[in-house]
Amino acid sequence: MILAGDVGGTKVHLALYNFAEGKLVPVRDHKYPASEFASLDDVVKAFLPDLEEKKQIVAACFGCPGPVKDGRLKLTNLPWTLDSRDLQKSLEIEHIFLINDLEANGYGIPELAPQSLFTLHAGDPTAIGHQGLIAAGTGLGEALLIYNSVTRSHHPIASEGGHCDFAPRNDREVALFNYLRRILNGRVSFERVIAGIGIKNVYAFLRDIEKLDEPDWLKQRLATEDPNAVIGQCAEDGSSSLCFETMKIVAAVYGAETGNIALKVLATGGMFIGGGIAPKILKTLQNGGFMQAFLDKGRLSPLLQAIPVRVILDDTCALLGAAAYAEARAAERSGHSERAASTRVA
């Protein structure tokens, strides 16, 4: 079996996989609130209380937010420092790997079923070439998927592009930028607008600076529920103009940065939108603001018009990618492939 983990800023999603006819088959999975655990080791041990089940695990991989260097990283949105060697000793699993969370998503895309992708913009569906990946969740992740014409496959390259400088494109976004620069005491990144930590910033700007009405029922829901979920839901169902305008700005900035990645990597093979936010705001993404901003690249707009844009609907994409990566790397080290073995006729 393969142990896979998707370590986010608010939760840790763990899963076990086997292989059947060369494809990953889920055994079981569980999500844990990250704030309730002192370390990743503790989360994994809670997931694997059965020693016999644990002995069947041949490799593990965890997709984590932040840059991984020599098997070690300090998480971006959690007070944890991880080291693959320490995890190997603590968990007693022979092959353990740490990769960037968007890198894991990139490895997961080829494992997805066709129905797990929603086409936001068809572009040229027959085009091949490099691809790009952007994912807003608690934070904003980005990755480049480099096409190998020999193997006809894509190699994910981790990135911290979500922390690049936010570039306002109109007067409203300039006002938002100036507001954020004041409340953040300086630099403003795209993550401060698009991701979960940014949605509340945009909402506060519209409420406090543009003076859009915040009804009492909405204020009460924001105080007792997940604010981002409430804002997104009320934008989708049209029950709040303040929430609708918030997500309108978020979607436009999301689209603009997606277009920026497409230009930087020359993503003729397509752009993918991952993360937990996009599947919940499909109506907002289809309202036009996202694609208008994506395509608004001056003389290069015709190039963007030909690039397919797809939303990843499957929230296990990063887990699938981590599992695929773990199996492939363990096979390189051991000479035995679990995936290949599952395709052999007995």
Concatenated DSSP letters for 171-210? HHHHHHHHHHHHHTTS--BTHHHHSHHHHHHHHHHHHHTS
Q: Which of 123-127, 218-222, 295-299 has the lowest mean pLDDT?
A: 123-127
Convert the pLDDT of each residue in 298-313 to its tens digit: 999 999 999 999 999 9
| pLDDT for 306 | 97
CA distance 340 to 171: 56
What are the residues facing 142 on neighbouring strands? 134, 159
Q: Residues of the chain with pLDDT > 90: what percent?
A: 89
Percent of the chain with pLDDT over 70: 99
The edge-to-edge listing of strands for the beta sheet with 131-136 is 117-121, 309-312, 270-274, 131-136, 140-148, 153-159
Residue 76 pLDDT more than 80? no
264: left (phi over 0), alpha (psi -120 to 50) or beta: alpha
Residue 160's alpha-carbon distances to 20, 70, 163, 178, 307, in angstroms, are: 35, 17, 6, 23, 23
Tokens 């990283």, residue located: 73
The structural domains of the chain, ordered by start, are: 2-108+315-341 (3.30.420.40), 116-313 (3.40.367.20)
Would you put residue 93 in left (φ > 0), alpha (ψ -120 to 50) or beta? beta
Instruction: Quote the mean pLDDT of the chain.
Output: 94
Residue 125: the pLDDT is 84
Q: Residue 345 — very low, low, confident or very high, per pLDDT cuts 50/70/90?
A: low
The answer to whether residue 78 scores a pLDDT higher than 90 is no
pLDDT value, residue 126: 87
Q: Strand pairing partners for 12?
A: 7, 32
Q: 47-56, 159-168, 275-284: which has the minimum mean pLDDT?
A: 47-56
Return the pLDDT at 8: 83
Q: How far apart are CA 279 and CA 257, in angstroms?
A: 18
Query: Residue 346's pLDDT band (boundaries 50, 70, 90)?
Result: low
Bridge-based pairing state of the strands 309-312 and 270-274: parallel
Residues 184-217 pLDDT 10s: 999 999 999 999 989 999 999 999 999 999 999 9
> Is the predicted pLDDT of residue 149 greater than 70, yes or no?
yes
pLDDT in tens, 91-142: 999 999 999 999 999 999 999 999 999 999 999 988 899 999 999 998 899 9
Distance CA 301, CA 17 (A): 42
State the Cα–Cα distance between residues 134 and 142, nearest whole angstrom: 4
Q: What angle do CA 335, 336, 339 make, to 5 degrees?
A: 135
pLDDT digits (tens, 9 = 90+) for 12-40: 999 999 999 999 999 999 999 998 999 99
Output the pLDDT for position 213: 95
Tell me: the pLDDT tens digits for 265-284?
999 999 999 999 999 999 99
What is the model's pLDDT at position 191? 96
* pLDDT value of residue 52: 85
Euclidean distance between the first and the last CA atom of the chain, given in angstroms as a whole number: 19
